[in-house]
Chains A and B, each alone.
Chain A
């Protein structure tokens, strides 16, 4: 049986997915990156390979997310794609006529506009992360509630409390103020959900034509309070796909499948045994010119297999094909 592997390495979460030739998800893992992408990928691949059906062969691999290059050289990826394309591809497989994709992850949020299956416009948050998952994470710990209970708590609210959501720090002061005024916890959590949605629509979604069907994906889509706030603000029902939290990985796997089918090449995947290899990263400042680029490199068993960060080709490594 043919399978395709997709890995999405994000700031907060890493997801690893295996799909079959009909784009069905065979395995999906959602792990916290915790600032250690290499370890997380290794651990995830180990978990996946332990539970795979024995007759499955990986025929293509794709990586996406902010750590896509790192993951790409590590596993030997056939495609290394940005997360916008990956999310759009995954969304349009689940709902073929999708016109809007809203994705809220740990530290970035994006909106993707599709028409007739083709991405026509997109936006990502630029200068501020106040409308993202980390924001909710922080406020939850501030309120001493578990992030998984956040949504249910918000749904119990009967009275909406308006919280300034433009900036994380001000939101916090506003929230403390509301607590001290005597508003109850469920109203405050609901207020936070509405603040995040308002912030997202006014920032990332500004000037975009949001048409149904609307998909809502990314880790934050788990939060029922946010879903409800979106429905209320948009006067439309947002669709949360079954695999909302691993859509990036699914997209990467699909892109890998497309690439392999198109080019008829064999995969560059190094195999699951890479989990036993030793991976290290290191970085240094280049002294070649006043730009002082920060060069990062990844080593596999002591040998450099990838480098990033330079503005010239001084540190390029020749690819051994």
Chain B
């Protein structure tokens, strides 16, 4: 009997989302080779084989694919992209580099289904090894979507709890346990239960009610925002400095915008940005500007922009953000990340930025009282 070709599927590592993707792909009958959390080894591999001036996400993803290929993966599921950002071309570039290095890997590239509906169906077919009915596939997607949402809501909650925790590190530790519960949940009912139990557990963490907390919005390019390994765990670092972080982007939000309809939030960001940046500049450049304005209107203390080094959309956004920061009196700090980025330099700047915001807040309250 000829060996049936088994899909050994892998995909980019973005935060905790792999838990939902793993479930979906396995339900559809694929063997999943989990992408390892990007490490220095991942980046070293990526840097070695990627063009020097390609951006950090390309390098990390290339490294990830090579690591998973070495574990036997033969199919990569990834997303494409539209507009003037190089990421749209990355899937093809990855494939070319991988085959040059002797890795024969197939690719399924999901472009926004709004624009390419047929392509979407063809891709789903390729991954539907179990030959499930469309109805069953829909159910699988729905469940993994629910899991993704649970993961996002738990992560959001850690951003609120971490700066207030009495004992440093407790939130991160409990969050780890909670993620394992989500992992084990399969039906929608179980996922909901695990999510609620997780939120409860996080809520029970002893908190310091008197601490000065500053609120910071995170904007920037999607990959470096969503993958903590690529931004040197900036959210955790900020949390430990007493900062409540709100990220402008979550995978569930992005997917809704690009599959069904645009969420009101993103429409707002677009509207807010339009006096400063009326054009779409690709990537998430305009979102970065818009979200900064929205954060400022909501009374945040500061905004941090994260971008891969050489990312054109974010470079455009940074230039515009100079004006926005001045007009809205909003402190903005930008980090361009690449393989050279050192944690010490970032830590110093973050500390100084947090001091700046805390002192400003103290100053505001003291003048308001006098």
| Interface set of A (CB-CB < 8 Å, partner B) | 66, 81-85, 116-122, 124, 126-127, 207, 289-292, 311, 313, 316
Contact = CB atoms under 8 A, between A and B. Distances in A.
B360 interface: yes
A293 to B, nearest CB: 8
* Listed residue (B169, B322, B349) with the most chain A CB atoms within 10 angstroms of its CB: B349
A119 B356 CA distance: 6
Interface string B321-361: 01000000001000010001001110011011101100110
Interface string B64-89: 00000000000000000000000000
20 contacts: A66-B344, A66-B348, A82-B349, A83-B352, A84-B348, A84-B349, A84-B355, A85-B351, A85-B352, A118-B359, A119-B352, A119-B356, A120-B356, A122-B353, A127-B340, A207-B322, A290-B42, A291-B39, A291-B41, A311-B343
For the complex, would chain B's binding face be called helix, strand, loop or mixed by DSSP majority? helix
Contacts of B343: 311
A89 to B, nearest CB: 9
B51 interface: no
* Listed residue (B169, B344, B348) with the most chain A CB atoms within 10 angstroms of its CB: B348
B358 to A, nearest CB: 10
A37 B336 CA distance: 30
B36 interface: yes
Contacts of B355: 81-82, 84-85, 119
* Listed residue (B232, B233, B336, B352) with the most chain A CB atoms within 10 angstroms of its CB: B352
A118 B322 CA distance: 19
B39 A290 contact: yes
A122 B354 CA distance: 12
A34 B356 CA distance: 31
Contacts of A116: 363
B34 to A, nearest CB: 14
Interface in B24-50: 36, 39-42
Contacts of A118: 356, 359-360, 363
Contacts of A122: 352-353, 356
B64 to A, nearest CB: 12
Interface string B1-43: 0000000000000000000000000000000000010011110
The range of chain B's interface size is 20 to 34
B363 A83 contact: no
B351 A291 contact: no
Contacts of A207: 322
Nearest to B232: A311
A207 B322 CA distance: 8
Nearest to B325: A121
A289 B322 contact: no
Nearest to B42: A290
Interface string B82-125: 00000000000000000000000000000000000000000000
B356 A81 contact: no
B352 A82 contact: yes
A91 to B, nearest CB: 14
B356 A82 contact: no
Given A81-B351, A82-B355, A313-B169, A120 B360 contact: yes
Contacts of B351: 81-82, 85
Contacts of B345: 124, 126
Given A207-B322, A290-B41, A83 B348 contact: yes
Contacts of A311: 232-233, 343
Contacts of A83: 348, 352
The 4 closest A-B pairs by CB, nearest first: A84-B352, A290-B39, A290-B41, A82-B351
Contacts of B232: 311
Nearest to B323: A207
